Amino acid sequence: MSHADNTPRGPAQSRGPPDACRGCSGLQPRPALVDVEDMGKSGVEKLISKTKIAQRMLTEIMEELTKLQASQRCF
């Protein structure tokens, strides 16, 4: 009698998942996010762009802190 189908027979059915599969949620990992604007830039250009964004953010934060300090001095 031939077992041409791929159904497990005998003790193979009770083995459980392979070690690599234990603890896995079964979900595929999320793809890494890609900055579309950075796709055509070299590494140095990407770094410069991100540095400029960070500098603008820091400038805005410093302006907000200055406003907060000025408003606290009035009390």
Contacts 24+ apart (CB under 8 A), 43-48: none
**What's the pLDDT at 48?**
92
- Cβ-in-10-Å burial (0-12, 13-18, 19+) of 46 comes to middle
**Is this prediction's pTM over 0.95?**
no
23-60 pLDDT, tens digit each: 777 777 777 776 666 677 788 888 999 999 999 999 99
**What's the pLDDT at 38?**
62
Give the separation between CA 8 and CA 17, rounded to whole angstroms.
13
**What's the pLDDT at 40?**
74
**What's the pLDDT at 7?**
60
- Is a pLDDT exceeding 60 seen at residue 10? no
Neighbours of 29 (CB within 10 A): 5
Residues near 3 by beta carbon (within 8 Å), at least 6 away in sequence: 9
**What's the pLDDT at 61?**
97
